[in-house]
Amino acid sequence: MSTENNAPVVNNFIRSIIDEDLATGRRSSVVTRFPPEPNGFAHIGHAKAICINFGLAEDYQGQCNLRMDDTNPEKESDEFVEAFKQDISWLGFKWNGEVRFASDYFDRLYDYAVELIQAGKAYVDDLSAEEMRQYRGSLTEPGKNSPYRDRTPEENLDLFTRMRNGEFPDGSKTLRLKIDMASPNINLRDPAIYRIRRVHHHRTGDKWCIYPMYDYTHCISDAIEGITHSLCSLEFEDHRPLYDWVLDNISIDHHPQQIEFSRLELLYALTSKRKLQALVNDGVVTGWDDPRMPTIAGMRRRGYSPAGIKLFAQRIGVSKSENIIDMTILEGAVRETLENDSPRVMAVVNPIKVTLTNYDAAVTASRSAPFHPHHPEFGERDVPIAREIWIERDDFAEVPPPKWQRLTAGGEVRLRYSYVIKCEEVVKDANGEIVELKCSIDHDTLGKNPEGRKVKGVIHWVSAEHAIQADVRWYDRLFTESRPDAVRGEDGEYVDFRQFLNPESLKLVPAYVEASVLQAAPETRFQFERLGYFVTDRYEHQPGVKAVFNRTVGLKDSWK
pLDDT digits 0-9 by tens, 357-369: 999 999 999 999 9
Q: Is 47 annotated as a binding residue?
A: yes
Question: Long-range contact list for 444-452, CB < 8 A, 24+ apart?
Answer: 445/414, 445/419, 445/420, 446/365, 446/367, 446/418, 446/419, 447/367, 450/412, 450/420
pLDDT at 321 over 70: yes
The active-site residue out of 37, 115, 237, 339 is 37
Under 8 Å between Cβ of 364 and 441: yes
> What is the predicted pLDDT for the residue at 497?
96
pLDDT at 526 over 90: yes
Q: Is 401 annotated as a binding residue?
A: no
- Extents of the domains making up the chain: 1-265, 267-302+326-341+468-560, 345-466
d(CA 550, CA 506): 10
Into which CATH architecture does domain 345-466 fall?
Beta Barrel (2.40)
Domain pair 267-302+326-341+468-560 / 345-466, same fold: yes
The active-site residue out of 149, 263, 275, 315 is 263
Rounded to an integer, the average pLDDT of 236-246 is: 98
Q: For 267-302+326-341+468-560, CATH number? A: 2.40.240.10
> What is the predicted pLDDT for the residue at 3?
43
In the residue annotation, 37 being an active-site residue is answered as: yes
Rounded to an integer, the average pLDDT of 310-336 is: 95
In the residue annotation, 263 being an active-site residue is answered as: yes
Task: Please report which confidence band the pLDDT of residue 456 belongs to, taking 50, 70 and 90 as the band edges.
Answer: confident
Task: Please report which confidence band the pLDDT of residue 8 belongs to, taking 50, 70 and 90 as the band edges.
Answer: very low
Q: How far apart are the first and last CA of the chain?
A: 33
pLDDT tens sequence across 26-36: 999 999 999 99
- C-alpha to C-alpha distances, 427 to 219, 312, 353, 359, 387, nearest whole angstrom: 74, 48, 10, 18, 16
Rounded to an integer, the average pLDDT of 159-168 is: 98
Rounded to an integer, the average pLDDT of 465-485 is: 96
pLDDT tens sequence across 495-522: 999 999 999 999 999 899 999 999 999 9
Under 8 Å between Cβ of 527 and 506: no
> What is the predicted pLDDT for the residue at 311?
97
Q: Is 159 annotated as a binding residue?
A: no
pLDDT tens sequence across 394-433: 999 999 999 999 999 999 999 999 999 999 999 999 999 9
In the residue annotation, 273 being an active-site residue is answered as: yes
Q: For 1-265, CATH number? A: 3.40.50.620
- How much is the pTM? 0.93
Q: Is 263 annotated as a binding residue?
A: yes
- Rg of the chain taking only CA atoms, in angstroms: 31
**Contacting residues for 208 by C-beta, under 8 A, at least 6 apart:** 106, 164, 201
Share of the chain above pLDDT 90, in %: 95
